[in-house]
């Protein structure tokens, strides 16, 4: 997959990007503090073993790529862990994740910043491969984001899972009721190298490149 961004925009130095958050004891639902949070650096190698076992067998692509109802939990955990780790590397803070179904989000990310525990609701979306749905488009996903209500702190991460080029320089965000919009995708066949794009809501889209050896 080839990803393109506006070369006139200067990427931020790693660690300077910020996220919309809910601070500890400030609008943080009590149940969030009781969730089991996972370290993506621990989870991703375990999920990789599952993917390798399935891929090595003579199974249909749908199963090998975890696209069945029985493997839905593993696929969602995989995407949440990858996005969590990419953000962690980008803002230079250790972030943990917990899958948590809600009408407006499906994960909670948390990290400590100067002794203060931060929480952020996260909604993950995916531009699925063509063999899954050739009619799916990035514009369609963006249009559907209008139904959410999380302008103060909702983070949306869109996984770009297509072998094609994307021009992410003019993403329409004016009407999106969310706090942060990020997009990410593997840039190598072995999924070792990834691109992460963010800062869309500010109109200053930035690109970050990361290597995930354990994916």
Question: What pLDDT sits at residue 27?
Answer: 75
Q: List pLDDT tens digits, range 147-169.
A: 888 778 899 999 999 887 777 88
pTM tops 0.85, yes or no? no
Calculate the CA 170 to chain-centre distance: 20
- Considering only 66-75, 157-166, 200-209, which range has the smallest mean pLDDT? 66-75
Q: List pLDDT tens digits, range 90-117.
A: 989 999 999 998 878 999 999 998 888 8
SS3 87: helix
Residue 128 pLDDT greater than 60, yes or no:
yes
Mean of pLDDT values over 39-67: 72
Residue 68 pLDDT greater than 70, yes or no:
no
Closest alpha carbon to 37 in 116, 93, 121, 95: 95
Cα distance between residue 151 and residue 153, in whole Å: 6
Bridge-based pairing of strands 107-113 and 96-99 is: antiparallel
Question: What pLDDT sits at residue 71?
Answer: 66
């Amino acid at each position: 997959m080839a990803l393109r961004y506006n070369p006139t925009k200067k990427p931020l130095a790693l660690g300077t990007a910020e996220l919309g958050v809910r601070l500890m004891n400030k609008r943080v639902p009590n149940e969030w503090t009781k969730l089991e949070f996972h370290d993506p650096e621990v989870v991703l190698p375990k999920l990789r073993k599952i993917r390798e076992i399935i891929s090595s067998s003579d199974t249909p692509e749908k199963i090998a790529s975890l696209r069945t109802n029985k493997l839905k939990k593993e696929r969602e955990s995989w995407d949440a862990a990858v996005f969590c780790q990419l953000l962690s590397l980008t803002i230079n803070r250790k972030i943990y994740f917990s899958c948590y179904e809600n009408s407006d989000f499906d994960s909670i990310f948390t990290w400590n910043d100067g002794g203060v525990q931060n929480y952020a609701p996260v909604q993950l979306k995916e531009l699925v491969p063509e063999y899954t749905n050739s009619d799916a488009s990035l514009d369609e996903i963006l249009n559907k984001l209008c139904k959410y209500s999380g302008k103060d702190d909702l983070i949306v991460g869109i996984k770009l899972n297509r072998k094609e080029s994307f021009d992410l320089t003019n993403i329409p965000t004016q009407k999106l009721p969310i706090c942060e919009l990020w997009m990410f995708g593997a840039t190598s066949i072995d999924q070792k190298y990834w691109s992460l794009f963010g800062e869309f809501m500010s109109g200053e889209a930035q690109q970050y490149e990361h290597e995930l050896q354990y994916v």
